[in-house]
Chains A and B, each alone.
Chain A
Amino acid sequence: MTLTLRPYRPADYDVVRRWIDDPVITGGFPTAAPLHGDDEVQAIVHDEHRPNHDRFAVVVDGRVVGEAQVRHSPPVFPLRVFGLGITIFDPADRGNGFGREAQRALTDQLFREREARRVQAETDPQNIAERRALEAIGFTAEGVLRRYFEGEGDLGDLVMYAMTRDEWEEVSSGWNSTG
């Protein structure tokens, strides 16, 4: 498997549109609304008017399978602290390690190319697959942020994972073999 992260290209818009307009994902709501046009998709994927958010296409063996997101809005994110998020679009593509390898590639890129001091990844405490993936890469759970999203009981909680620059320097020496 060869996994890369790259900026979106117009040729990717059909894939993106398929998932943001998917009635299974959006609960059927947009069926009466016009589907996203190229201009709207372009504005979304290039984060026009959003200087503190970046998106990349996750490409596996030449095929766009998902999206990698980087958040760095100050002052919630201090200088050189980044938050990452990965979405794998098609449920059929999950469970293949694409998410884990995309997390690893993005983490590496943030420390290597953007001088990150700390990379955060926040996830649903019940999302065991993502937690295992983050722990396998070398992230550490730091705590649970309660009611981060609206929800009943402990729904909406978020577990905060992070890797510091020192930790990256230690673990990333073993990453070259996986690309």
Chain B
Amino acid sequence: MSSTSHVSLRPLLPGDLESLWGARMRSDEPWADSSDAARRKLRDRVANSGRISHGELLLGIVSDGRLAGEIQARQPEMGLPPGVFEIGIEIFDPTARGGGIGRRALGLFLAHLFDEEKAHRVQLTTDIDNAAMRRVAEHLGFGFEGTLRGFMPTKDGPRDYVMYGITREAWEATR
């Protein structure tokens, strides 16, 4: 399945809410929040999916016709300058990770950000030990830019994260 599945991106729909919520509740991340307020916030994000809203462009990742994850470009006001986006990606089924879904979704999303959203830089951060994510980033042409010490809170304490960036010039050179 991994090498032949068809991957595409589309706006999230109200019917996706249960899949998204379920994936979030299975997550062991310390910020997984099961409150009603969090559920309302997720519903609002789904309602705004497909367009930049509240500093975020959120899309669903579809693999072989099924919702397989979500991908976001963040540009919070006063957080990043115009033309700079930070990508976050979540694949629901961990056994599908490394199966190329993330890599293909990220490639499609990069093309969208550079071609449609006038990005001049796209960045992502990931745990220093997340070898799969780092390989995907490097494969797509992201450059390693530095280690952000103690950046991310986790249940085991703050973790070092690595910063990857890709400029418009580097992106165009890979096409």
Chain A residue with the shortest CB-CB distance to B55: A73
Interface string of A63-101 (1 = CB under 8 A from B): 000000001011111111100000000000000000000
Contact: A50 with B149, CB < 8 Å?
no
Q: Which single member of A76, A147, A150 contacts B79 (CB below 8 Å)?
A: A76
Question: With A76-B74, A78-B153, A143-B163 as given contacts, are A162 and B79 in contact (CB-CB < 8 Å)?
Answer: no
Q: Which single member of B55, B77, B121 contacts A147 (CB below 8 Å)?
A: B121
For residue B99, CB closer than 8 A to chain A, the reply is no
Interface string of A37-79 (1 = CB under 8 A from B): 0000000000100101100000000000000000101111111
How many residues of chain A get a CB closer than 8 Å to chain B's CBs?
32
For residue A144, CB closer than 8 A to chain B, the reply is yes
Chain B residues touching A, range:
20 to 34
In whole angstroms, what is the CA distance A15 to B174 when docked?
49
In whole angstroms, what is the CA distance A120 to B163 when docked?
14
From B8-16, B82-90, B107-115, give the one contacting chain A. Answer: B82-90
A-B contact count (CB 8 A): 87
Chain A residue with the shortest CB-CB distance to B77: A50
For B80, what are the chain A residues with a Cβ–Cβ distance below 8 Å? Answer: 76
Q: Which single member of B76, B146, B165, B168 contacts A74 (CB below 8 Å)?
A: B76
Contact: B146 with A144, CB < 8 Å?
yes
In whole angstroms, what is the CA distance A165 to B150 when docked?
9
Closest Cβ of chain A: how far from B11's Cβ, in Å?
Answer: 20
Closest Cβ of chain A: how far from B119's Cβ, in Å?
Answer: 10
For residue A17, CB closer than 8 A to chain B, the reply is no
In whole angstroms, what is the CA distance A145 to B83 when docked?
14
Contact: A118 with B86, CB < 8 Å?
no
Q: Please provide the 7 A-B residue pairs with the shortest distance between their CB atoms, ordered closest to farther.
A: A143-B146, A73-B79, A73-B76, A53-B78, A142-B146, A76-B79, A143-B145
28 contacts between A and B (CB under 8 A): A47-B78, A50-B78, A53-B77, A73-B55, A73-B77, A75-B88, A76-B76, A76-B80, A76-B86, A78-B152, A80-B153, A117-B150, A118-B148, A118-B149, A118-B150, A118-B151, A120-B148, A142-B148, A143-B163, A144-B146, A145-B165, A147-B167, A147-B168, A160-B148, A160-B163, A162-B148, A162-B149, A164-B150
